[in-house]
Chains A and B, each alone.
Chain A
Amino acid sequence: MGWAGNPTLTTSAGSIPVAGRGHRPVVRAARFALAHVPGLVVAGSKPRRELAREGAALRKSLRAHLRDFETAVAYPPHQVMLGNLPPEALWDRPRPWHGTPITGARAEGPAGLLLDEATFHAWLVRGDAAKLLSLANDYAAALEPRLAGPRVATIAAAGVAAAVAAGAEPIYASPDRLIGALAAGHEADESLTGAVLLENLAAKVTGAVALRRLLDEVAPDEPADFLLGSGEEAVGDRYQRGGGNLAKAMGELAGLRGAGGADVKAFCAGPVHALILAGALVESGLYRRVIVVGGGSLAKLGMKFRGHLAAGYPILEDVLTGVAIDVAADDGRSPRLRLDAAATLRLGDGDAPHQVAQALTVAPLRRLGWRLSDVDRFAVELHNPDITEPAGSGNVPAHNYRLLAALAVQAGEIDRAGMAGFERAHGLPGFSPTQGHIASAVAYLSHAIAGLTEGALRRVQLVAKGSLFLGRMTTTGDGASVVLERNER
């Protein structure tokens, strides 16, 4: 995949590329960029806090449970993310899935690619617009073949350690191999510390790689008019914490020139909100091609590591995941984005799980006279249960499907005996990394598009939830849903 040059130039005239009359929106493609970054697990929020308290012994234990790149590639849920394995193939695969690696697995597939850690570091160099990154001399030399052009400040190993001692954010290639440091963007700005900047830079580059992949593979000659960011990061400074518009920074790094951009913020529900808005922008005629982008969440690396250590598992949260979703005017083939079946959780809908499911799943279907059984697949919170169960968080998608099955019983669509089969008939096994906004429905998108074009699927409903209450500004939650439908034009 090209990374430098190869810009996608727009042919649109003027600052707002008006598409003219509205067009029915379709979702043409989705691409994921996974980055295997075991060295960054220690920079995840949970490991960072626990290491500060427990130090060397815990660091040693973490190191002993990290996976190498080949193991991460062969991990069955990652192969599902890359599009090489259908999610349904996980149903009958013995768990935990790391016990049955895929032989001959590849680090790329029709849905995206999995970067190794050194390649990710090279992207950090390319994405470091403020030139705050320094790499150790020997590591920078080893990275040179992957860089092929961009320059990075290099210092002796002792200099890296000194920079970290002075407050720069350390960058490790394993928990003990210090290979670089990211300096703060300001001497006294809590929004621009090295740690915050690394989190934002990691989101930027994983989103940009997913975007570049999509632009290379899908309608490469067609301009992208607008980017909608939907990730979990908060980019800004002391005067505008979370100011945002990482979408444009991703577009710049991906080589775009003709696109504008803005971000949509709604915790993990961001991408589905953004998908609905992207569809509305296309349908209105304002733009012809809108790409929803979202970068990986560094803070969530190692989030459940305690459970994994206790279970004797490898640390399974060692990948960042970025996404790019192509929303365009109707091409007569790609799945339609049914905006008339879109829903958002309104303030008065209630936050109990059955109320949320009623508002996001049942109500929009009823509006169009559909039953739950008229949807082939519900893509809900698709967190990998091998990650969540050892930490006591249960099988999240299974919980969601049980609730939908109960609502189907309540509606008289199935009897109680049919509840057990609902999950397999209309659901999916969890396969997504616990990168919240990715797991929240959109992880299934590439498979959904394939199933709705080349497969036998007719309708897929994406149902995402966002935990707004975590920000302490409200006690309410959020959610959004939309239906993708086979294009019968």
Chain B
Amino acid sequence: MLDLTNKLVLALGERDGIPAPAIGACAEAAGGRVVYDVTQCFV
């Protein structure tokens, strides 16, 4: 499993894929600190 302890995380999500809050939750579960998260729409 990915260990993100002491890592800062930029979570860039996509509406029709994985939204940023979900990426952020996974990153935090892996020990990271989410400093920026944004969900984008690419269409």
Q: For B17, list chain A residues within 8 Å (CB).
A: 353, 394, 399
B41 within 8 A of A: yes
Nearest CB of chain A from residue B10's CB, rounded to whole Å? 16
B21 within 8 A of A: yes
Q: For A434, list chain B residues within 8 Å (CB).
A: 43
In contact, A391 and B42 (Cβ under 8 angstroms): yes
A460-488 interface mask toward B, CB cutoff 8 Å, 1 = contact, 0 = none? 00000101011000010100000000000
In contact, A353 and B39 (Cβ under 8 angstroms): no
Within the assembled complex, what's the spacing in Å between the Cα atoms of A220 and B41?
39
In contact, B43 and A436 (Cβ under 8 angstroms): yes
Give residues 1-43 of B contacting A (CB, 8 Å).
Answer: 15-19, 21-22, 39-43
A363 within 8 A of B: no
Interface centre among B39, B40, B43 (most CB of A within 10 A): B43
In contact, B42 and A353 (Cβ under 8 angstroms): no
A396 within 8 A of B: yes
Give residues 304-354 of A contacting B (CB, 8 Å).
Answer: 351-353
- Of chain A, the residue at the smallest CB distance from B42 is A393
A400 within 8 A of B: yes
In contact, A470 and B41 (Cβ under 8 angstroms): yes
Within the assembled complex, what's the spacing in Å between the Cα atoms of A393 and B15?
11
A388 within 8 A of B: yes
Nearest CB of chain A from residue B20's CB, rounded to whole Å? 8
Q: For B16, list chain A residues within 8 Å (CB).
A: 353, 381, 394, 396, 399-400, 465
Q: For B40, list chain A residues within 8 Å (CB).
A: 470
- Of chain B, the residue at the smallest CB distance from A432 is B43
Within the assembled complex, what's the spacing in Å between the Cα atoms of A393 and B21?
19
Q: For A196, list chain B residues within 8 Å (CB).
A: none
Nearest CB of chain B from residue A350's CB, rounded to whole Å? 9
A360-381 interface mask toward B, CB cutoff 8 Å, 1 = contact, 0 = none? 0000000000000000000001
Select B39's contact among A381, A383, A400, A469, beta carbons within 8 Å: A469
A201 within 8 A of B: no
- Of chain B, the residue at the smallest CB distance from A383 is B43
A439 within 8 A of B: yes
How many residue pairs link A and B with beta carbons under 8 A? The number is 43
Select A475's contact among B18, B22, B39, beta carbons within 8 Å: B39
Nearest CB of chain A from residue B24's CB, rounded to whole Å? 11
In contact, B19 and A465 (Cβ under 8 angstroms): no
In contact, B43 and A393 (Cβ under 8 angstroms): yes
Within the assembled complex, what's the spacing in Å between the Cα atoms of A480 and B40?
19
Within the assembled complex, what's the spacing in Å between the Cα atoms of A477 and B17?
13
Within the assembled complex, what's the spacing in Å between the Cα atoms of A475 and B41?
12
Within the assembled complex, what's the spacing in Å between the Cα atoms of A436 and B15?
13
Nearest CB of chain A from residue B18's CB, rounded to whole Å? 8
Q: For B15, list chain A residues within 8 Å (CB).
A: 353, 465, 467, 477
- Of chain A, the residue at the smallest CB distance from B43 is A383
Nearest CB of chain B from residue A151's CB, rounded to whole Å? 40
Nearest CB of chain B from residue A148's CB, rounded to whole Å? 38
Within the assembled complex, what's the spacing in Å between the Cα atoms of A439 and B15?
15
In contact, B39 and A388 (Cβ under 8 angstroms): no
Select A396's contact among B19, B39, B43, beta carbons within 8 Å: B43
Within the assembled complex, what's the spacing in Å between the Cα atoms of A394 and B18?
13
Within the assembled complex, what's the spacing in Å between the Cα atoms of A467 and B43?
10
Q: For A477, list chain B residues within 8 Å (CB).
A: 15, 39
In contact, A351 and B39 (Cβ under 8 angstroms): yes
Q: For B21, list chain A residues within 8 Å (CB).
A: 351-352, 475
Select A439's contact among B19, B39, B42, B43, beta carbons within 8 Å: B43
Q: For A400, list chain B residues within 8 Å (CB).
A: 16
Nearest CB of chain B from residue A257's CB, rounded to whole Å? 37
Nearest CB of chain A from residue B11's CB, rounded to whole Å? 12
Select A467's contact among B18, B22, B41, beta carbons within 8 Å: B41
Within the assembled complex, what's the spacing in Å between the Cα atoms of A467 and B13?
12
Within the assembled complex, what's the spacing in Å between the Cα atoms of A399 and B42?
13
Within the assembled complex, what's the spacing in Å between the Cα atoms of A95 and B21?
35
Within the assembled complex, what's the spacing in Å between the Cα atoms of A469 and B41?
9
Select B19's contact among A353, A383, A392, A394, beta carbons within 8 Å: A353
* 14 pairs, CB–CB < 8 Å, chain A vs chain B: A351-B21, A351-B39, A353-B18, A388-B43, A393-B43, A399-B17, A434-B43, A439-B43, A465-B16, A467-B15, A469-B41, A475-B39, A477-B15, A477-B39
Q: 7 nearest interchain CB pairs? A: A467-B41, A393-B42, A383-B43, A399-B16, A396-B16, A351-B19, A467-B15
Q: Which residues of A contact B (CB under 8 A)?
A: 351-353, 381, 383, 388, 391-394, 396, 399-400, 434, 436, 439, 465, 467, 469-470, 475, 477
Q: Which residues of B contact A (CB under 8 A)?
A: 15-19, 21-22, 39-43
Given contacts A381-B16, A391-B42, 5 further A-B contacts (CB under 8 A): A353-B17, A392-B42, A394-B17, A434-B43, A470-B40
